[in-house]
Amino acid sequence: MRQTILSPAEMVAVFLLALLAAVCVACESRTSVEEPGKIPPNDTTSGEPHRPLETPANGVVFVERPGVPRPLDADPGHGVAAEGRIQDARAYSLEGTVEAVAFGEGSLWLTERFTWDPGPCPDNGSCAGYESGLLTRLDPETLEPVAGWKLRGAYDATVAFGAGSVWVTKGGSVVEIDPDTNSVAREIPVGTRLRAIAFGAGSVWAAGLGREVFRLDPDGGAVVERIEVVGREAYDVALGAGSLWVATSDSLAQIDPEEGEVVGEIPVPGVAFDVAAGSDMVWATGDGDGLVRVDPRTDEVADTLDLGGQAWDVEASTGSAWAVSRRSTGERSPPVVRLARVDPETDEVVGAVEIEGSSGDAAVGGGAAWLVAADGAYTGNTLTRATF
């Protein structure tokens, strides 16, 4: 057989053509269309953190039809009690164990804890019994599900909205969802298990186990700053009144979002579990019955309102504070979860709804206040929609 001998110039040309073909193949694989809800894993060694993954073991699975809430009007055991200026209140049962609710991008968002077994994990181990989370998007008018995502390792997921995206904590990372397409844009690694997230001052802020608050760039998709606060853990974060407020195990920390520095630490009774901030007022709940109001102009506790039960969650919206508390009704009776609207001018409750439950979370939006409550046996949940 005749052997063809290439000149040096021809050999260089062949090499360049082969190199170009390899690059094209790599580009084609990197730009393949991903299924909605899929998250590319983080490849920290290559510096390219958004490589597609073809299996659901990457930690996120898109759910076409999550559970639909059912009306509870016919069930006298789950009736809603209302007081004050309440126009209407209606309860719905929820499938699974929904723990938190948020409102943004014109939708209602529920996070649920569940056990997920998607098959082999990326390390070839078993994911059986892996605690995970389910994020469900609902139409606030019909309560019909719009989309859902299973998030492996996100059993305490929280949600924030900003820069045209939905930001969700997922274990030690933050997931960005495009609300226009219901697709996952990316996953940003943080490293610490997160339990709180907020958006403001052009950044995403997250906190969790440990004493650090993380600032993420929504454009670059990376952690750009770490701020240490006093206390063993950070429980919640909120932006308002020109500052970032962090509820910690020791106090309420005030951070200048422009400088990234702690500028104040306000002692509150017990442990600060939750915080909410408006334009000129800050609210916090602790391990007692009180809702603490902080004046950001003096950095001092202005007042403490007795909620009549364990303070749980607080939101600031529509010029009011919305506080969730839990109280016992007797040895043989299940506890009650209460959502109260507080007038910041008078520190008085102007309206409230109550429903049987052991824990609760609230959100305000779409012309209503929303309360998620777990029942006394922790086997189910209710969603209450109240218009004030």
pLDDT tens for 48-67 read: 332 222 233 346 676 655 56
Q: How confident is the model at residue 95 (pLDDT cuts 50, 70, 90)?
A: confident
In this structure, which amino acid lies at residue 4?
Answer: T
pLDDT tens for 336-347 read: 999 999 999 999
Cβ atoms 38, 60 nearer than 8 A: yes
- Is the pLDDT higher at 76 or at 312? 312
Cβ atoms 266, 276 nearer than 8 A: no
Q: How confident is the model at residue 232 (pLDDT cuts 50, 70, 90)?
A: confident
84: which 2 tokens? 């004050």
Cβ atoms 307, 291 nearer than 8 A: yes
Interatomic CA distance for residues 286 and 74, integer angstroms: 36
Inside any domain, residue 15: no
Inside any domain, residue 230: yes
pLDDT at 119 over 90: no
pLDDT at 42 over 50: no
pLDDT tens for 186-214 read: 999 998 899 999 999 999 999 988 889 99
Inside any domain, residue 352: yes
Residue 48: its pLDDT value, please? 31
Inside any domain, residue 70: yes
Inside any domain, residue 43: no
CATH number for position 236: 2.130.10.10
Residue 34: its pLDDT value, please? 31
- 3-class DSSP assignment, residue 41: coil
Phi first, then psi, for residue 46 (nearest 5°) are -90, -10
Q: What is the DSSP letter of 42?
A: P
- The alpha carbon dihedral of 88, 92, 98, 103 has a sign of negative
Scanning the structure block, which residue is given the tokens 């996952």?
184
Sheet holding 70-71, edge to edge: 70-71, 88-94, 381-387, 368-374, 359-365
pTM: 0.80
The number of folded domains in the chain is: 1
In this structure, which amino acid lies at residue 33?
Answer: V
**Closest CA relative to residue 99, chosen from 301, 332, 324, 296:** 324
155: which 2 tokens? 């059993």
**Closest CA relative to residue 157, chosen from 124, 116, 218:** 116
Of the ranges 33-37, 166-170, 230-234, which one carries the lowest mean pLDDT score? 33-37
Report the pLDDT averaged over residues 298-314: 91
Report the pLDDT averaged over residues 6-26: 46
- Is the pLDDT higher at 241 or at 328? 241
Report the pLDDT averaged over residues 6-18: 48
Residues 6+ apart with CB under 8 A from 185: 165, 176, 177, 178
Residue 181 has, within 13 A of its CA and on its CB side, a CA count of: 11
Inside any domain, residue 349: yes
Query: For residue 39, what are the β-bridge partners?
Result: none
Inside any domain, residue 48: no
Inside any domain, residue 171: yes
Full domain range(s) for residue 313: 62-387
Q: What is the residue-averaged pLDDT of the chain?
A: 79
pLDDT at 355 over 80: yes
Residue 202: its pLDDT value, please? 97
Sheet holding 159-162, edge to edge: 159-162, 165-170, 173-178, 183-189
Residue 114: its pLDDT value, please? 65
Residues 6+ apart with CB under 8 A from 301: 266, 267, 268, 292, 293, 294, 295
pLDDT at 16 over 60: no
- Is the pLDDT higher at 339 or at 130? 339
